[in-house]
Structure 1
């Protein structure tokens, strides 16, 4: 009984799922504007790179 319910829900959820197909259509951000994409990527990767250095500086300045 439970297996049938899970199967019914999974198949109905797949039928309700409609999305555009194509390059970059399934992303959370736009790839149309290359300068905006560059800014988003610079902030994303730059913050990940800078975070350990900021933590070390904070620990060294803490007394």
Structure 2
């Protein structure tokens, strides 16, 4: 009984949602422009890669 009510609620919630469907539509960033996406990925992953080197340089130069 409870399982049927939950199933009806979830299917009605999915039907009433007004989100676009398709590949890349549920992401928090756009994948339409591949060059902008490439730039954003380089900045995101590059900053994570460079951070330890910047911290070590700061510690070495600190007196």
TM-score between both structures, scaled by the size of structure 1 = 0.73
What is the deviation of 1:17? 4.0
CA RMSD of aligned residues (A): 2.1
1:55 aligns with 2:55: yes
> CA separation in 2, counterparts of 1:19 and 1:34?
23
**Distance in 2 (alpha carbons) for counterparts of 1:62 and 1:54:** 12
Aligned-partner SS, 1:24: coil
Q: Which runs of 5+ in 2 are unaligned?
A: none
Q: Deviations over 1:12-51 (max 9, x none)?
A: 8x72643211100001111010100000000000000000
Residues of 1 paired with 2:58 and 2:18: CA distance?
Answer: 48
Where has structure 1 moved over 2 Å in runs of 4 or more?
none
Residue matched to 1:29? 29
TM-score, normalised via structure 2 length = 0.73
CA distance in 1, matches of 2:19, 2:56: 44
